[in-house]
Amino acid sequence: MKKLLFMAILFCGTLSLYAQHDNLYSQYMFNGLLINPAYAGSNEMLSATAVNRNQWVGFDGAPKTSTFSLHTPLKNKKVNIGITFTNDRYGITTQNKINAIYAYRLFFKKSSLSFGLQVGVDFIRNNWNAIQTTTPGDQVFTGQYSQQNVPQTGFGIYYKAQKFYAGISSPDLISIGTSSTVYKSAFLTAGYLFDLSENVKLKPFVLVKYIKDSPVEVDLNAIVYFKMVGIGYSYRTNDAMVFLATVNVSKQFSFGYSYDLTTSKLATYVRGSHEIMLKYEFGYKINTQSPRYF
């Protein structure tokens, strides 16, 4: 009964505001394009990343998210482009979101500053037939579908040096529905790379997330790199502890896995969240600034 009540509240709130549901990722640090369009091209080569997230395992109707992103600098190193596609399924709702990204970079002696813009459309479909009612065959929920196509736009700023990065962004700043305009989340990120030895690196970093009329959420993160392997830990305030690992299988291909241990009141009903990341960087390379770590 508690599960049903919670999901009903979640769905009603989501549907009434048109795409209020924000995608949650634990491995955004391996693909900053997920939260900041200004990240496009910063790996200095054509980069493709796929992420699959199974959230709140054991909870009926919990979010399941698959994302593919592709970004690259052009021959003019200042101009960078990218694209992201996201399929998100939760409860009775399916969202297919596509975004085109443009970023412009200014280069300094040992750093760069990028400004990014993305525009896209969120295709939202609700299957009311999937709702289990207390009255079998309730005609209100029989043969009912609804669909909404929501234009979205967002922006970001990203600064990158050899051992430091920082960014501010709102990838889906404005979502325009037929009856409302929704202002969504904003992110502030920063991180630094410490050389503990020739083969051991430490990267602490932070993400601050703000949503209007919601508590500020903070991710405190740290990853230790041992040559080709990275082991990390994240604490997401009022939500979860995250354990993650990444392996650079080759100079071009890397694999990542994370497990979220829920610490909120949902912990009674769920068995955590799993996320897998695959990343491939093609040989088109211009001017590398530690892409392995940032």
Whether 201 contacts 193, CB under 8 Å: yes
**E-assigned strand segments in the chain:** 45-54, 64-73, 79-90, 93-107, 111-127, 145-161, 164-176, 181-183, 186-192, 194-195, 200-210, 217-226, 229-236, 240-248, 253-262, 273-285
CATH code, domain with 145: 2.40.160.40
**Pairwise CA distance, residues 80 & 77, whole Å:** 7
Residue 81 lies in a domain: yes
Give bridge partners of residue 256 from the DSSP assignment: 246, 277
Domain encompassing residue 185: 2-285
* pLDDT score recorded for residue 277: 96
Query: Closest by alpha carbon to 107, among 72, 78, 71?
Result: 78
Query: Residue 87 and residue 97: Cα distance in Å, rounded?
Result: 7
C-alpha span between 205 and 223 (Å, rounded)? 9
Is residue 291 included in any domain, yes or no? Answer: no
- Is residue 290 assigned to a domain? no
C-alpha to C-alpha distances, 70 to 32, 43, 83, 92, 206, nearest whole angstrom: 12, 11, 5, 29, 24
Is the residue at 104 inside a domain?
yes
Looking at residue 2, what is its pLDDT? Answer: 40
Report the pLDDT value the prediction gives residue 59, as an integer from 0 to 100: 79
Q: What single-letter amino acid sits at 15?
A: L
Closest among 160, 250, 173 to 205, alpha carbons compared: 160
At residue 137, the pLDDT reads: 62
The angle at the Cα of 245, spanning 113 to 209, to the nearest 5 degrees, equals 45
CB-count exposure of residue 199 (10 Å: 0-12, 13-18, 19+):
exposed
What is the reported pLDDT for 146?
A: 79
* Any domain includes 293: no
Q: Where are the alpha helices (DSSP H) in 185-284?
A: none
Q: Are 115 and 38 in contact (CB under 8 A)?
A: yes
Local structure of residue 74 (DSSP, 8 states) = -
In a domain, 294, yes or no: no
CA atoms lying within 13 Å on the CB side of residue 293: 27
pLDDT tens string for the chain (294 positions)?
344 334 443 444 443 334 445 678 889 888 899 999 999 999 888 999 999 999 888 777 788 999 999 999 998 889 999 999 999 998 888 899 999 999 999 999 999 999 999 999 999 888 877 676 666 666 666 667 778 888 989 999 999 998 999 999 998 887 766 455 555 789 999 999 999 998 899 999 999 998 877 788 999 999 999 988 999 999 999 888 999 999 999 888 999 999 999 888 877 788 889 999 999 998 755 444 444 577
Signed CA dihedral, 261, 264, 267, 269: sign only: negative
Residue of 77, 76, 134, 79 lying closest to 101 (CA atoms)? 79
23: closest CA among 68, 59, 58?
Answer: 68
CA separation for the pair 46, 72 (Å, rounded): 4
Cross-strand bridge partners of residue 79: 104
- pTM given for the model: 0.84
Give the total number of structural domains in the chain.
Answer: 1
CA 38 to CA 128: how far, in whole Å? Answer: 38
Q: What tokens appear for 292 in the block?
A: 């392995």
pLDDT at 155 (0 to 100): 95
